[in-house]
A = this chain, B = another copy of it.
Amino acid sequence: MSETRIFNFNAGPSALPLTVLKEIQASFLDFKGSGMSVTEISHRSGVFDEVINDTVARTRRLLNIDEKYHVLFLQGGASLQFAMIPMNFLGEGATADYVNTGTWSTKAIKEAKLLEKKISVVASSEDKNFSYIPKNIEFNKDAKYVHITSNNTIKGTQWHSFPDTNGVPIVSDMSSDIFSRPLEMEKFGMIYAGAQKNIGPAGVCMVILHDDMLKLSEELLQGENKTLPNMLRYNTYSSQNSMYNTPNCFGIYVTQLVLKWIEEEIGGLTKMEARNKEKGQMLYDFIDGSNFYRATAEKDSRSLMNVTFRLPTEDLEKEFIGQATKNRLGGLKGHRSVGGCRASIYNATTMEAIEALIKFMKSFASGK
């Protein structure tokens, strides 16, 4: 830890691996001997082709997927996907199932409804303030997809296993836990993620799309979707290696470096998951053993990415966050919509950061 850097528990944009940041910095005026910054190279150049192709290749290796999945880079974040998904996959009369586990699921549902698409909310944890992940859900066999949010940054819950959907492909917003663990990819028709939590800077959205879903969207483009704008069609990206127009080159480059870090320094997703479990367990164990802090999510639904907790009073929470900031522990304030405290401990958060946080939490509690 350099003396100027803080321990960063921001929910997103959030901490990136220090080795990644240092590599970006070191090569910022001269990228790979090109004599240009990575922000100045043409997206149609060989040097950028290597960046995007390596990012795709690393994604395939890490998730163990073959050419049946298309790895795409879009812009507009997960929020644009909330619209593109129903627009591309739901034709007249077709339906999809949605599970509501909090703010981001709710936004995805609202967007599909705004578009006047026919969707069913088949389960929700709103009854207990979204503090758990619903179980034993009955899915519709004829749904085109089942939409879930794999990790809920605001309420601090996470799907630890993915449901049996009778073969209906799952479409999951994984903005806050992509590449944090291995995935049974055969369950997924599509996963998508704004990069700014686990894989890069804001402004690039990764979409991993099964070819069957792409074909479904292409059938609709032949008919009722023929007026869909080019930038909202998945095949615009899949047919041109995400370069129909200029992509967010810098964002893709940072993503490449983060995936390289996961592969080469961490050692892949199984090890990444073990590290994340160790970090999460250490923090939750401390909170559970304390009679001062209280975790807000139900035990079996707790997120390994966002640890939400409360103190005895709101005044103490305010004091806690203020003192933490002075002690170089940043980003511990809960989302403005729910209050409380939250430590976001994504892939890049180190064990050192968790230890520093626990040490501070102990010291703060003992003074009260």
Contact of A76 among B41, B76, B111, B196 (CB under 8 A): B76
**Which chain A residues (231-274) contact chain B, with CB distance < 8 Å?**
231-232, 244-251, 254
B28 near A245: Cβ-Cβ < 8 Å: no
Question: For the complex, is A313 an interface residue (Cβ under 8 Å from B)?
Answer: no
Contact of A42 among B5, B13, B247, B249 (CB under 8 A): B13
A25 near B28: Cβ-Cβ < 8 Å: yes
CA distance A87 to B228 in the complex (A): 11
Contact of A229 among B75, B115, B203, B251 (CB under 8 A): B115
Please report whether the interface of chain A is mostly helix, strand, loop or mixed according to DSSP: loop
A284 to chain B, nearest CB (A): 24
The answer to whether A28 and B21 touch (CB under 8 A), given A6-B34, A245-B79, is yes
Contact of A77 among B4, B21, B245 (CB under 8 A): B245
> How many of A's residues come within 8 Å of B, CB to CB?
70
Which chain B residue shows the least CB distance to A28?
B25
A202 near B250: Cβ-Cβ < 8 Å: yes
CB-defined contacts of A213 to chain B, threshold 8 Å:
none
CA distance A224 to B42 in the complex (A): 40
A36 to chain B, nearest CB (A): 5
Which chain B residue shows the least CB distance to A25?
B28
CB-defined contacts of A202 to chain B, threshold 8 Å:
39, 43, 246-250
| Copies of this chain in the oligomer | 2
Contact of A41 among B10, B226, B231 (CB under 8 A): B10
Interface centre among A28, A29, A231 (most CB of B within 10 A): A231
**Which chain A residues (8-62) contact chain B, with CB distance < 8 Å?**
8, 10-16, 18, 21-22, 24-25, 28-30, 33-37, 39-44
B13 near A246: Cβ-Cβ < 8 Å: yes
A51 to chain B, nearest CB (A): 12
A78 near B13: Cβ-Cβ < 8 Å: no
Which chain B residue shows the least CB distance to A18?
B29
Contact of A29 among B5, B34, B36, B229 (CB under 8 A): B5
Starting from the known contacts A6-B35, A39-B254, A75-B248, 4 additional A-B residue pairs (CB-CB under 8 Å) come to A21-B39, A21-B40, A87-B229, A203-B250
Smallest CB-CB A-B distances: 4 pairs: A203-B248, A6-B35, A83-B229, A75-B75
Q: What are 10 A-B contacts defined by CB distance under 8 Å?
A: A5-B30, A13-B39, A13-B249, A14-B40, A16-B40, A25-B28, A36-B330, A83-B231, A83-B232, A203-B250
